[in-house]
């Protein structure tokens, strides 16, 4: 197993040349919105299949715009690449996987989705041909649509994952993050020396593209991203479990997440009958929010007037939202276990949450993801991260942790500001 890096472990049970000119690099971390020429104009592109000339060949892609597309709002741009002998329609319409690998239903109209069609139903990328195809699609899309250029993403399964890896290598400044499912080094890696936010998923018994190759791919970006090397645990064969490992020490804005499941070559692994990969990927992508550009305050001086002598009307403060938290032990092993907590807002939205619970005798928490841990005596408290504190009414988020000791079913207390 190759080197990779220590931070967060989750164990869950049963090639092209120089970058195309004219594209705005993705931000190193949370970026300022950088909009495109298509902002503010009525688009000519609509939902459906579109043709484009690239490298002297006729190529195509399927476009899915947000409902009630707003030409003045910069959107995320997400490319979903199909597998060998799959096609763009499989990604766009779903079937074996949910549409756009399950991200479309989770985006809540915050993203423009693109399903490109590979030549010969694959992504061989000879001479960077398919990377150039992506460059050309971006140029066409952003000339016509309103895109936040700090929020471009790519993902895919098998050959589509190999293509996403090729983009991580060749276009790290154009894409904010990639997600690579059960892939190998099959679409090339031109460049491959710069950091990019990186998520990779693989099965322990993959009979098509063995996990050893995936570890090598992962380790390239562990190094590029400056993460602390380590050897993450992986689930044992036949356990029906999965592990998730988030590296520590990575450069700002360039996390690396490594997810391994006990299984074969699968784009839709499940746990307890639920496909977990779409949620994991959406959480990874959506943590990278852009902030609106700032403008200088006006320089005019307001006229001086005496303050009013009447007291301003008093208003009640906004009602405090409520929340609830539920716990699940998702895996255990001798001397340790992994827990997952689901936080749900009540009938009103909340702007933050805090979950506390008593630790049983012999329990100690070693790692937490999706929240910030504080332990005071035998009480564990987890507060939301900046990106998952705001929940709409009845909205949910999760955090997980690793602990030493034996699992129990704690009583959780959830509070919100």
Over the stretch 373-389, which tens digit does the pLDDT of each residue have?
Answer: 999 999 999 999 876 78
The number of CA neighbours under 13 Å toward the Cβ of 32 is 3
Nearest Cα residue to 201 out of 216, 186, 183? 183
Residue 96 binned pLDDT confidence (cut-offs 50, 70, 90) = confident
Percent of the chain with pLDDT over 90: 69
Say whether pLDDT at 271 is over 90.
no
| pLDDT score for 339 | 84
Residue 332, pLDDT score: 74
With a cut of 50, say whether residue 5 has pLDDT above it. Answer: no
- Band of pLDDT at residue 230, cut at 50, 70 and 90: confident
Give the residue-averaged pLDDT of 19-43. 62
Which pTM value belongs to this model? 0.68
Q: What is the pLDDT of residue 386?
A: 74
Check whether 122 has a pLDDT greater than 90.
yes
pLDDT in tens, 193-212: 999 999 999 999 999 999 99
Residue 178 CA to residue 157 CA, distance in Å, equals: 12
Cβ atoms of 147 and 65 within 8 Å: the answer is no
Mean pLDDT of 103-116: 96
Within 8 A by CB and 6+ apart from 43, the residues are: 65, 69, 71, 144, 145
User: What's the pLDDT score for residue 7?
Assistant: 52
Q: Six-digit token pair at 210?
A: 């063995």
Q: Are 153 and 78 in contact (CB under 8 A)?
A: yes
Q: Please state which of the ranges 10-14, 354-358, 376-380 shows the lowest mean pLDDT.
A: 10-14
Total residues belonging to the chain: 417
Q: 3-state SS of the chain?
A: CCCECCEEEEEECCCCCCCCCCCCCCCCCCCECCCCCCCCCCCCCCCEEEEEEECCEEEEEEEECCCCCCCCCCEEEEEEECCCCCCHHHHHHCCCCCHHHHCHHHHCCCEEEEEECCHHHCCCCHHHHHHHHHHHHHHHHHHHCCEEEEEEEEEEECHHHHHHHHHHHHCCCCCCEEEEECCCCCCCCCCCCCCCEEEEEEECCCCCCCHHHHHHHHHHHHHHCCCCCECCCCCCCCCCCEEEEEECCCCCCCCEEEEEECCCCCCCCEECCEECHHHHHHHHHHCCCCECCCCCCCCCCCCCCCCCCCCCCCCCCCCCCCEEEEEEEEEEECCEEEEEEEEEECCCCECCCEEEEECCCCCEEEEEECEEEEEECCEEEEEECCCCCCECCCCEEEEEEEEECCCCCCCCEEECC
């Amino acid at each position: 197993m190759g080197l990779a890096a220590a931070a967060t472990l989750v164990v869950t049970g049963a090639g092209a040349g120089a970058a195309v000119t004219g594209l705005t690099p993705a931000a190193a971390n949370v970026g300022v919105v950088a909009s495109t020429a298509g902002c503010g104009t009525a688009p000519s592109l609509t939902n459906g299949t579109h043709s484009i000339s690239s490298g002297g060949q006729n190529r195509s892609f399927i476009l899915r715009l947000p409902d009630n597309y707003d030409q003045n709002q910069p959107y995320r741009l997400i490319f979903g690449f199909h597998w060998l002998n799959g096609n763009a329609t499989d990604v766009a319409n779903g079937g074996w996987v949910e549409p756009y690998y399950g991200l479309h239903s989770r985006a809540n109209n915050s993203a423009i989705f693109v399903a490109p069609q590979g030549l010969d139903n694959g992504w061989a990328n000879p001479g960077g041909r398919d990377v150039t195809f992506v460059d050309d699609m971006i140029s066409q899309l952003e000339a016509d649509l309103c895109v936040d250029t700090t929020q471009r993403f790519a993902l895919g399964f098998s050959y589509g994952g190999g293509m996403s890896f090729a983009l991580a290598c060749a276009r790290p400044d154009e894409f904010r993050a990639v997600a690579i499912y059960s892939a190998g080094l099959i679409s090339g890696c031109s460049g491959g020396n710069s950091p990019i936010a990186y998520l990779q998923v693989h099965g322990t018994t993959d009979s098509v593209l063995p996990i050893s190759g995936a570890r090598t791919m992962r380790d390239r970006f562990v190094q590029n991203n400056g993460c602390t090397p380590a050897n993450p645990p992986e689930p044992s064969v036949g356990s029906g479990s999965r592990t998730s490992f988030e590296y520590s020490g990575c450069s700002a804005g360039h996390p690396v997440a490594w997810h391994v499941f006990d299984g074969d070559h699968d784009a839709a692994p499940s746990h307890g009958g639920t496909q977990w990969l779409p949620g994991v990927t959406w959480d990874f992508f959506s943590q990278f929010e852009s902030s609106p550009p700032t403008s200088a305050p006006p320089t005019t001086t307001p006229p001086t007037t005496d303050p009013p002598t009447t007291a301003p009307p008093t208003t009640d403060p906004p009602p405090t939202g409520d929340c609830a938290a539920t716990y699940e032990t998702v895996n255990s092993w001798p001397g340790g276990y992994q827990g997952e907590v689901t936080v749900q807002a009540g009938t009103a939205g909340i702007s933050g949450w805090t979950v506390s619970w008593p630790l049983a005798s012999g329990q100690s928490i070693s790692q937490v993801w999706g929240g910030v841990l504080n332990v005071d005596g035998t009480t564990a408290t987890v507060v939301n991260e900046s990106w998952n504190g705001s929940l709409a009414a009845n909205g949910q988020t999760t955090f997980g942790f690793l602990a030493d000791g034996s699992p129990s079913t704690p009583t959780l207390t959830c509070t919100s500001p």
